[in-house]
Structure 1
Amino acid sequence: MKALLNKFITQDFWRIGIIQKSPISVIDQGLHGLDIQWLNCSTKDFEADPFIFMIDNTYFIAYEIFDYSHGNGKIECIDLEGNRYPFFDDINAVTGHKSYPFVFEENNNIYTIVETSDLNEAVIYQYNGYKFVKKSVLLDNGKYIDTNIKKIKDIYYLFTSTADEPFKQLLFYSDSLFGDYRLHPSSPIANDKKNGRNGGPIIEDNGNFYRIGQNCEHTYGGSLQVMKITHISSDLYQEQHYKDVMPVEPFSDGLHTLSSWGDLTVIDSKNIVVKYQNIYRKIKYLLMIKLGIEKPFFDTCDENTKREI
């Protein structure tokens, strides 16, 4: 009964932190002792999945705001002063859940791949000077989540998993950014709750590459497990465990995203808080699911560790 009560009164509270260091420095040093600027950009309890990028010498952070009242997320975008920008408005207008706004630069253009798994496809969007607009469907026939692309030696590697199997890390490759993407011979490259789900973009440092994995072995978004890529080509992929990155106070109950642009790194971390008003909200939401009023979306570690609804 106590465990059941805790499920109804607890909730994950996520916030974004900025660190004035390169990602590999953050990973090697760990978060303890680092100067982290924690943002508080809205009244929402869930501000997470941050991706930092630069346009016209201005830094922006794209991140997910999750609405616990109906179980769907959308993408917010701010500069470092907290001013909001409508870059993702067209994407937010699409039906369903949006999260993990992976943003990257290629050939002097800015692109994003936002998780829109309800659409059963992975889509790349291009920034046109005002907003991100749909450019191409990279993968279809799958509920793709947490998707990254990295170009290495003229080959584009696409790392992803699916909502049905979030910890089975799939690898695709292509000679072109916009496809045709083929399943890599080594795929799946991971199938483990410790690192099978992406927690940020591929990091490049001095010719080495690192994949960031969410460690959900004990709780959703518990920490990060960094994997060093020891070999990557069109016919072989290998990686090995490199470092664990653990959360720290004042948000010490979880950590599940790390991204960077130059020497600026952003993370997200959580506290698990008690809110007795959650009892009404969660019962209401479960009834909505039962009656089919709202399509549920669960960002899952497994059936027993669903994101708190």
Structure 2
Amino acid sequence: MARRIALITDSLQYGAWQTEALRQGSHKSKIVLIIALRKTQHGEKIAARQFVIEAVRSIWLRVPKQNKGSKQLEQSSVDYRFICPTTDQHICEDALEAHQIDTIVDSSLDQFASGLTKFHGTTIFSYSESAAQKLVLSSFVREQSKTPIGQLSYSHQPGHPGDGVSRLLPVWAKVYPYSLRRSYQEFQRMANATLITSFNQSEQAPIFSPSSLETIQDELSGPAVLSVVLQTFLKSFKRLVYGAFFEKNWSVGTSKVDFSPLDQTKLTKADIVEIPTHSAYRFFADPFFSSDGKAIRLEGLNKATGLGEILEITSDGSISPNPIKKGKHYSYPQSFVYNGDEFLLPEVGSHSAQYIEKIGDQSEKFSLKGLESSRIVDATMHCEDGYWYLFFGFADTAHAILNLWIASDLFSEFRPHPSSPICLDPAGARMGGAIFRKDKNLYRLGQDNQRGYGEAVNVYRIKELNPNRYVETVCGNVSVDGAFGPHCLNKSPDQKTLVLDYYKDVFSFAAGWRRLLAKFAKGAA
């Protein structure tokens, strides 16, 4: 049965990111009532005191007060029946009861719904445009690497495994220190994903609680915001210099360190035996062991084409004469065994929907059913208790949103897992290697991309994994002393050897030119 929803807004003006979330959730809900709160004199005084913030938003940083896609709700594709303009709590409560509302979506600045005492349904708090912009500005003032959006709270339904066990899913938006505009757009993207999740996961009833705005008002003084403007311009200039004259010099190595998933592990240069990069390639990255542990498969970036190729390195260190995959851009070559055959799951998102193929037989590609038209990133397959679980990110949101899909068989249709998405955080949403087991516990590796790409790997203990429920908690971290990384880490089948990648920033007059050529080559492929 569709939920009957009431929207509470400061005005009827909604951003495109908000209306899109409402539209996508419409198949499981019906917007019956809109409560439009009138602007008060107090609100106008607050706006006057925030003159500097308004100026920064609309002039220097060119972040419009309402993003370009904003529109009046009555003119949008959002369906509704009644509008009630009031701030009187009793009138609101009577309207909610009269229209049999069971869910409120409150995006008012003052979280108006929190004062309603007679409503006993579900309340989902969202953000007004003003609140969202203040949170992003506050992250810049505090020099944070990500903006806290809030958290999704799950109360498990009776009759399923894990009854009574709650699940908390923190939600963060990456901060781009060189661009307030891009950071704000990222906030919108993540807030949109959170609202859609709240609508769509009705079976597990997630409730979104936003971050508190209580302390932010005092932080956003005129001098603090003007300092943010100056620092942003300086960091933007540094980024241009880096793009023109610096590049990441990746390496791959092995290590015998038996790291604990529960610790903060820092590998030293002495811990790692580097695999020499072949002269035909700019670098090696994304290493995985073969299923039998006798070879390492990795991405080699071809100097001539600027495209990634999948190479195999044998135990004696020699490279197989013919790449496993070449001609287009390939990376992240995870493999797994199904009915005695080893299958390769390469990343092909730059040019194709995801597929698998048998190792040694490229004559036939098998599309993943359910994802035939999707471009996905760093897909990682895992089989547990007869079910096949696919961890991946969609190409445009992989840096911050990790999805989990499930199938009863490798060649059956994959569908979203009831707990998906399972991570909404740039500190671990992008997969950083295969799922592994240690001391009977399962662990997931996630790239820590909150400050820069591939700076380290965070380790997550998988507490529950079944067709109905997924729960994980961050428990450890792996980094490399004197370098950035790893961003891909894997264990050999006998658990005795690690293979990982890492990088250093190096100066080169040709860095910018090579960066442009690489983008062109991937686009052409």
TM-score range, shorter chain: 0.7 to 0.9
Per mean C-alpha deviation after superposition, the further-off stretch among 221-230 and 176-185 is: 176-185
Q: CA deviation at 1:180?
A: 1.5
Query: Equivalent residue for 2:309?
Result: 74
Give distance in 1, aligned partners of 2:498 and 2:508: 31
**Residue 2 to residue 212, structure 1, CA distance change in 2 (3 Å):** closer
- 2:272 corresponds to which letter in structure 1? I
Gaps of 5+ in 2: 1-236
1:48 counterpart (285, 291, 296):
285
Query: Equivalent residue for 1:15?
Result: 251
Partner deviation per Cα, 1:206-226 (whole Å, 9 max, x = no partner): 321111000011111010011
Q: CA deviation at 1:85?
A: 2.1
Q: CA deviation at 1:84?
A: 1.9
- 2:250 corresponds to which letter in structure 1? W
Larger Rg: 1 or 2?
2
Please give the secondary structure, in 2, of the residue aligned with 1:121.
Answer: coil
Q: CA deviation at 1:295?
A: 1.3
2:265 counterpart (30, 39, 59):
30
Q: CA deviation at 1:189?
A: 0.6
Gaps of 5+ in 1: 298-309
Query: Equivalent residue for 1:179?
Result: 412
Give distance in 2, aligned partners of 1:280 and 1:233: 48
- 1:50 corresponds to which letter in structure 2? P
Does 2:316 correspond to 1:85? no
Please give the secondary structure, in 2, of the residue aligned with 1:230.
Answer: strand
Give distance in 1, aligned partners of 2:286 and 2:522: 23
1:217 counterpart (447, 450, 453):
450
Give distance in 2, aligned partners of 1:169 and 1:26: 20
Per mean C-alpha deviation after superposition, the further-off stretch among 116-125 and 197-206 is: 116-125
Give distance in 1, aligned partners of 2:344 and 2:432: 16
**Residue 67 to residue 217, structure 1, CA distance change in 2 (3 Å):** farther
If asked which structure has higher relative contact order (CA below 8 Å, sep 6+), I would say 1
**Contact map agreement 1:123 1:134 (CA 8 A) in 2:** no
Give the % identical residues.
26
TM-score by length of 1: 0.82
Runs of 4+ aligned residues of structure 1 deviating over 6 Å after TM superposition are none
Please give the secondary structure, in 1, of the residue aligned with 2:350.
Answer: helix
**Residue 174 to residue 17, structure 1, CA distance change in 2 (3 Å):** same
Q: Pairwise mapping of residues 1-309 of structure 1 onto structure 2 (< 5 A)?
A: 1-21=237-257, 25=260, 28=263, 30-32=265-267, 35-43=271-279, 44-55=281-292, 59-67=294-302, 71-85=306-320, 88-89=323-324, 91-93=325-327, 96-127=328-359, 130-138=360-368, 139-166=371-398, 167-249=400-482, 252-261=483-492, 262=494, 263-282=496-515, 285=517, 289=520, 295=523
**Residue 69 to residue 165, structure 1, CA distance change in 2 (3 Å):** farther
TM-score by length of 2: 0.50
Per mean C-alpha deviation after superposition, the further-off stretch among 253-262 and 181-190 is: 253-262
Q: CA deviation at 1:11?
A: 0.5
Give distance in 1, aligned partners of 2:355 and 2:239: 40
Larger proportion of strand: 1
- 2:413 corresponds to which letter in structure 1? D
Give distance in 1, aligned partners of 2:261 and 2:273: 14
